[in-house]
Amino acid sequence: MRRIDLADAGFLYMEKRQTPMHVGGLHLFTLPDGAEATEFLGQCLEVLRTDEPYRKPFGDYVAHGRAGALGPLYWEKDRNFDIDYHVRHSALPQPGRFRELFVLISRLHGMLLDRNRPLWESYLIEGLQNRQFALYTKMHHAATDGAGAMHMANAMYSTKKSDRSERSPFSLAAYEEYKARYRAQKQARVVPRGAELRNVSEVLREQFDTTAHLLGALRRFGGAFIGRGEGLAVPWHHVPHTSMNTNVTGARRFVAQSWDFDRVRAVCKAANGTVNDIVLAMCGGALRRYLISQDELPKHSLKAMTPVSLREEGDLDSSNAVGFIVADLATNLDDPEARLRRTQESMQAGKSLVQSLSRREAMLFMQITQVPALLTSVLGLASRFPAFSTVISNVPGPREQLYWNGASVDGMYPASIVFDGFAMNITLVSYNNKLHFGIVACRRSMPQVQRLIDHLEDALQELEEMAGLVPGGSQRKKAPVSRKKTVSRKKPVARKKKAASA
Amino acid sequence: MRRIDLADAGFLYMEKRQTPMHVGGLHLFTLPDGAEATEFLGQCLEVLRTDEPYRKPFGDYVAHGRAGALGPLYWEKDRNFDIDYHVRHSALPQPGRFRELFVLISRLHGMLLDRNRPLWESYLIEGLQNRQFALYTKMHHAATDGAGAMHMANAMYSTKKSDRSERSPFSLAAYEEYKARYRAQKQARVVPRGAELRNVSEVLREQFDTTAHLLGALRRFGGAFIGRGEGLAVPWHHVPHTSMNTNVTGARRFVAQSWDFDRVRAVCKAANGTVNDIVLAMCGGALRRYLISQDELPKHSLKAMTPVSLREEGDLDSSNAVGFIVADLATNLDDPEARLRRTQESMQAGKSLVQSLSRREAMLFMQITQVPALLTSVLGLASRFPAFSTVISNVPGPREQLYWNGASVDGMYPASIVFDGFAMNITLVSYNNKLHFGIVACRRSMPQVQRLIDHLEDALQELEEMAGLVPGGSQRKKAPVSRKKTVSRKKPVARKKKAASA
């Protein structure tokens, strides 16, 4: 029985029937050459169902203390652990395209996890075309964050096609081995993990090296509200109302797509921006197009909450170590270069603010400045006073081609959380020279969310033209055909057709 | 905006994350000769997604009044109705046996419906062997009861293989036509439906023809508690504690099986019992075997709540018109004949009690005597003070072979509700000379529930021997092989193997 950190427990307290608080990942694979599908998938299921000690808290359920559901929460070992409940075998109906896959993931992602059991489920999915199969895993955000999920995926897969593993993805032993490998690779001195983050008032009582950093940061943060922000974008300040900022229902839409990392890198180099800058500019351009098509482009620009990891290098154990910077997406500007520069400026200001703080101060700062957002959510006011327009999260993933018992890992698409006031979430993972985008939205608030995929491609082409990488004007080049094994974009000619509904 | 009857709204108030309050039905079909599967199922999906006015409340969502979630509830038209959300296309993984089907239904049946939308979902399921496919529909118990669901199925199907329908199962027009047909067939004067049932205190204020019936019934009911029951079994009285009477988790197990109606009818005739008596004796015998195998046979007999329909003939509109009789399953008796007689006696006493009342009095009586059960449930005491051991419900279905656009309807398996204190529910439908059993249980409380299927067969064979229909003793005949197109029992030789876990 271990008390759950307040930062983690928040995701349990805030969970409602309409707003499950789990994160998901959809991984795509191709069967190894010559492997027989039923036999190979049977072996995969056996691996997923391996009975061995799990890393915490994936063998634990959430227990209440004496104070009940709103008092402190605890992780307690599930002595009735039932692996067949957690590992599930599913199939797609004919014709087994990505469309059918996304419909299934949309459905699975909208369902609450069972609080009586460890808070995760895995679905091995057959019935895809081209000898592909998929694994969708959902885990409660109280148990892990995006970077933590990436480390778990890394621990599960291998860079060698010939490697075989009989370890569950949640295996404690496999994870300890992975950590040892990871730390050896990094050859960095690993600082022992400090005391777990306690709640704000407890921490405030302690002494910082200097409180000046924190007070200075809060002063700059406050200054942005009264127009002295030096490019810093802050929550609530001129955040417009759109269909993205409504209260959400329990149903979701999930869409995903991969882009070549090299295309984005080329724009970075030519336009002098970071990968994150260009990704945000893609999203800003896509959202501007989307809002125009929905006839609801607001006067003020959309603001995106972009989570930043506050994990120390080598900290593979924290379940949640996330702060945020507010990016100005400049959706009110038509010129792509002006949009990019405005976004860069806001990111730079946010980064310099976070960097002025120690990691511990940064986490405290994030907690203090997030308190109003928690309050408006709990009070049901988030859709009336949106703190941000959307969440855009960029999670660094493994760089090399990975394999799962010989099956190539073709794509890793994250599926994150939407909440009242934030009806859409864009998360991307960089893996094997591709950027894998996963977009989750409330099914009712954003029924046309799948169009964002085309808009993202258009926005990237626009940035390529801006950077002089491709000829501009009305004769845009067609996007290079995606590798078959990742989710392929609809061809531009098909765009005028009514988008398929999930 | 129509106020929801208190009897119906109770299912909404009592619903929790672990105890969804919907009823489901799994219907099995065989593709018409020569039909191409993908094309035919595509047509079925189109029919299911037909856009037309729906019968109430299947186009409505649950709205709160000013008093909030615990005040009166209302049905309100869903102006964002999204048919693709409600009608879903699913598939079974290989090898597509009934086992894979039951695993999927177990999963779907354990998930809450979305309160933001009309409270139903339909799943068209492909991937079964032998050119079969399935339709699983779940509907909130606030919207319909078992008999109501049967009428809907009747309205959807046809006795003619050649008939084609383009009407949704929830079509208002189709239902009006069905009602007209049904009433013409019955050639009975249909009494206009009275005012909707209001809550107990309101009704108490009204005048009955005579209050003597009701008071007499309550007196007999009370008498059974102090040993003057004349065979009447009553809730709480000597109800033993078993694994069936625990608090339940959110996960379910569903199993189903068909038996030839003629086998049961033959026992009825030879042993002088009603179909319901013999079905209850089958269940009693099966539960006795199950409890012995789990090493938990209690000293006192299990008591089953057996719902009885209080619908008037021709009342196709009430969503809930259900009372109950408590059946003594006599699981403490080894002799099958003694068990049967004890069960018959308790059913006879219960029926004579209900029959002494007018329909309206009976409904009131049921409400009064159910109040303590509602209270123990709401107070979380149902597992400590179980009112019944289980629920066994026998729903009369259509007698003739039915077709859905030419596809034969092979089986109709009900999936009902479990609740704290009642971790298992057995519901059966008589259709086309078969009895179709659907058993739902809490996955954690009764992990071995699938064994009940074999125990039910054993119990029926025992009754056949008792009635002199087959040679008795240790050389029991093997059960006749079930028709391929309904769920086939495992062969007796395979019984010793560890039962497959769902």
Q: What are phi and psi of B48, to 5 degrees?
A: -65, -25
Cα→Cα distances B374→B7, B22, B113, B221, B484, Å: 12, 17, 22, 18, 42
Residue carrying structure tokens 């000379």 = B433
Q: Cβ(A396)–Cβ(A308) under 8 Å?
A: no
Q: Return the pLDDT at A210.
A: 37
Per the omega criterion (within 30 degrees of 0), is the bond before A32 cis?
no
What the block records as the tokens of B217 is 């019934």
Residues B358 and B428 in one domain: yes
CB-count burial class (<10 Å; 0-12, 13-18, 19+) for A100:
buried
Q: Is B51 on the interface with A (CB under 8 A)?
A: no
Residues A173, A312, single domain; the answer is no
Does residue B99 sit at the A interface (CB-CB below 8 Å)? no
pLDDT along chain A (502 residues), means of 10: 80 86 95 96 94 90 82 90 95 96 97 93 97 96 80 86 87 85 59 32 36 56 57 67 84 96 96 94 96 92 80 57 78 96 90 69 61 55 65 88 96 91 90 96 92 97 94 52 56 40 42
Residue B191 is predicted with a pLDDT of: 33
Scanning A421-450 for CB atoms below 8 A from B yields 443-444, 447
The tokens describing A251, both together, are 């149903």
Would you call B255 helix, strand, or coil by DSSP? strand
Say whether both A152 and A219 belong to one domain: no
Backbone φ and ψ for A182, nearest 5 degrees, come out as -60, -45
Tell me which amino acid residue B221 is: F
Short-list A111, A113, A11, A119, CA closest to A75: A119
In this structure, is residue B497 part of a structural domain?
A: no
Give per-residue pLDDT as tens, B101-121.
999 999 999 999 999 999 999
Contact list, A115 vs chain B (CB under 8 Å)? 17, 250
Burial of B499 (0-12, 13-18, 19+ CB in 10 A): middle
**Domain total in chain B:** 2
Q: Helices (DSSP H) in A379-412: which residue ranges?
A: none
Q: How many CA atoms lie within 13 A of B90 on its CB side?
A: 28
Q: Are residues A412 and A453 in the same domain?
A: yes
Q: Of B204, B198, B206, B238, whose CA–CA distance to B218 is shortest?
A: B204
> Does residue A296 lie in a domain region?
yes
The confidence score (pLDDT) of residue A313 equals 55
Residue B204 pLDDT greater than 70, yes or no:
no
My answer on whether A442 and A314 are in the same domain is: yes
Nearest to B331 by CA among B418, B255, B239: B239
Q: What is the pLDDT of residue B481?
A: 40
Whether residue A251 lies within 8 A of chain B, CB to CB, comes out as yes
Q: Tell me the residue type at B78.
A: D
- The answer to whether A100 touches A124, Cβ cutoff 8 Å, is no
Q: Which long-range contacts (CB under 8 A, 24 or more apart) does A192-200 make?
A: A193/A315, A193/A317, A193/A318, A194/A360, A196/A5, A197/A5, A197/A6, A197/A7, A197/A363, A198/A5, A198/A6, A199/A6, A200/A364, A200/A367, A200/A368, A200/A371
Same domain, A152 and A228: no
Tell me whether strands A22-30 and A407-415 are parallel, antiparallel or unpaired.
Answer: antiparallel
What's residue A94's pLDDT?
93
Q: Report the amino acid identity of residue B463.
A: L
pLDDT greater at residue B264 or residue B249 = B264
Sign of CA dihedral B99, B100, B104, B110: positive
**Which A residues 11-40 touch B at CB under 8 Å?**
17-18, 37-38
Structure-model confidence comparison of residues B163 and B204, the more confident one: B163
The arithmetic mean of pLDDT across residues B319-340, rounded, is 84
Q: Phi/psi of residue A266, each to 5°?
A: -65, -40
Q: Any idea which residues of A carry the catalytic annotation?
A: 141
**pLDDT of A60:** 95
Looking up residue B75, the CATH number of its domain turns out to be 3.30.559
How many angstroms away from the CA of A282 is the closest CA of chain B?
30
3-state SS class at B103 = helix
Question: CA-CA distance, B28 to B429, in Å (whole number)?
Answer: 13
CA distance B46 to A380: 38
Quote the minimal CA–CA distance from B89 to chain A in Å: 7
Mean of pLDDT over chain B: 80
Rounded CA gap, A78 and A143, in Å?
Answer: 15
Structural domain includes residue B496: no
Residue with tokens 């047909």: B181
pLDDT at A376: 56
Select from B20, B26, B250 the least CA-distant residue to B142: B20
Determine contact, residues B221/B353, Cβ cutoff 8 Å: yes
The span from the first CA to the last CA of chain A, in angstroms, equals: 42
Residues A181 and A134 in one domain: yes
Q: How far apart are alpha carbons A220 and A237 in whole angstroms?
A: 14
Q: Report phi then psi at A103, rounded to 5.
A: -60, -45
| Beta bridge partners of residue B116, listed in sequence order | none
* Residues B163 and B233 both lie in one domain: no
Q: What's the sign of the alpha-carbon dihedral B181, B182, B186, B191?
A: negative
- Return the H-helix or E-strand segment holding B35: none
Cβ burial, residue A33 (10 Å; 0-12/13-18/19+):
exposed
Residue after which a domain boundary falls, among B124, B154, B186 = B186
Q: Is B80 on the interface with A (CB under 8 A)?
A: yes
Cβ atoms of B133 and B126 within 8 Å: the answer is yes
CA distance B403 to chain A (A): 23
Where among A152, A186, A220 does a domain terminate? A186
| Residue B183 near residue B190 (C-beta atoms within 8 A) | yes
Give the model's pLDDT for residue B117: 94
CA distance A430 to B6: 54
Q: Are B105 and B254 in contact (CB under 8 A)?
A: yes
- Determine the pLDDT at residue B486: 78
Considering the domain architecture, whether residues B269 and B404 belong to the same structural domain is answered as yes
- Of all residues in chain B, the one with the smallest CA distance to A113 is B250
- Pick from B313, B22, B318: nearest CA to B148: B318
Using the beta-carbon criterion (under 8 Å), do A444 and B82 form an inter-chain contact? yes
- Distance, CA of B60 to CA of B73 (rounded, Å): 12
Q: Say which CATH number the domain at B398 has.
A: 3.30.559.30
Residue A450 lies in domain: 211-491
One domain, residues A147 and A252:
no
Q: Is residue A336 situated within a structural domain? A: yes
Alpha-carbon distance of B129 to B148, in angstroms, equals: 30
* Greater pLDDT, B405 or B222: B405
For residue B245, pLDDT beyond 90: no
Please tell me which of the candidates A38, A94, A501 has its beta carbon nearest to residue B126: A94
In this structure, the answer to whether residues A242 and A384 fall within a common structural domain is yes
Q: Give pLDDT tens digits for A2-37.
A: 888 777 787 888 888 888 999 999 999 999 999 999
CB B254 within 8 A of CB B415: yes
CA dist., res. B199 & res. B189, Å (int): 28
Q: Rounded to the nearest 10 degrees, what angle do helices A451-466 and A275-293 cross at?
A: 120
Q: What is the pLDDT of residue B221?
A: 58
The SS3 call for residue A186 is helix
CA distance linking residue A382 with residue A393, whole number of Å: 20
* DSSP-assigned beta bridge partners for residue B88: B123
Question: Does A444 reside within a domain?
Answer: yes
B333 and B233 co-located in one domain = yes
Q: Could you tell me if residue A66 is inside a domain? A: yes
Give the closest residue to A303 by CA, choosing from A236, A360, A397. Answer: A236
Distance from the A236 Cα atom to the nearest Cα atom in chain B, whole angstroms = 28
Q: Is the Cβ–Cβ distance between B444 and A82 less than 8 Å? A: yes
A49 contact partners, CB below 8 Å, separation of at least 6: A83, A84, A87, A168
B194 in a structural domain:
no
d(Cα B305, Cα A421) in Å, to the nearest integer? Answer: 46
ipTM of the complex: 0.81
Residue with tokens 């002098």: A272
B287 confidence band (pLDDT: 50, 70, 90):
very high
d(CA A149, CA A119) in angstroms, rounded, equals: 14
> Which residue from B114, B249, B443 is facing A249, i.e. has the nearest CB?
B114
First-to-last CA distance in chain B? 42
The closest of A225, A242, A238, A233 to A383, measured between CA atoms, is: A242
Say yes or no for a CB contact (<8 Å) between B127 and A444.
no
Q: Is A127 on the interface with B (CB under 8 A)?
A: yes
Q: Mean pLDDT lowest for which of A128-142, B353-367, B483-497? A: B483-497
Cβ distance B94 to A38 less than 8 Å, yes or no, reads yes
Residue B201 lies in a domain: no
pLDDT at B376: 55
With CA atoms as reference, the chain A residue closest to B112 would be A111
